[in-house]
C-alpha cells in the first residue's frame, strides 16, 4: 500500500484535503456517534501521515513492514 502512494511529489498537496473529504464522508454516511467519528478521524490522520512520509520523490519503502492495527483508543500493539 505504501508503494502505491510513494514518490508522487516533494510537496504534500493531498493530506489535508484527503482528511477533510474523509470526515465529510463519515459524517454523511455513518451514525452520529462521536466516539466512532473521533476514532475514524484519528485513525485516518495517522494513516495519512504515514502515507505522506513516502510522497517525496526520493523516499523508499522498506520490505515486509508490519500491518498497522488500530483500536478505539489509538494504535494497538
**Residues in a beta bridge with 75:** 70
Q: Is 47 in the site for ligand HEM (CB under 6 A)?
A: yes
User: Scanning residues 5 to 44, which ones bind ligand HEM (CB under 6 A)?
Assistant: 5, 14-15, 18
Report residue 7 CA to chain centroid gap.
Answer: 16
Q: Is 70 in the site for ligand HEM (CB under 6 A)?
A: no
Quickly tell me which residue has 459524517 as its cell: 27
Cell of 18: 484527503
Nearest approach, Cβ of residue 7 and ligand HEM (Å):
12
> Which residues contact ligand HEM by CB under 6 A?
1, 4-5, 14-15, 18, 47-48, 51
Amino acid at each position: 500500500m505504501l508503494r502505491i502512494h510513494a514518490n508522487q511529489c516533494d510537496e504534500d498537496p493531498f493530506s489535508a484535503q484527503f482528511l477533510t473529504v474523509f470526515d465529510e464522508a463519515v459524517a454523511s454516511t455513518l451514525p452520529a456517534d462521536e466516539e466512532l467519528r473521533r476514532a475514524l478521524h484519528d485513525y485516518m490522520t495517522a494513516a495519512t501521515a504515514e502515507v505522506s512520509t513516502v510522497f517525496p520523490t526520493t523516499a523508499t519503502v522498506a520490505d515486509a513492514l508490519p500491518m498497522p492495527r488500530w483500536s478505539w483508543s489509538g494504535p494497538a500493539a
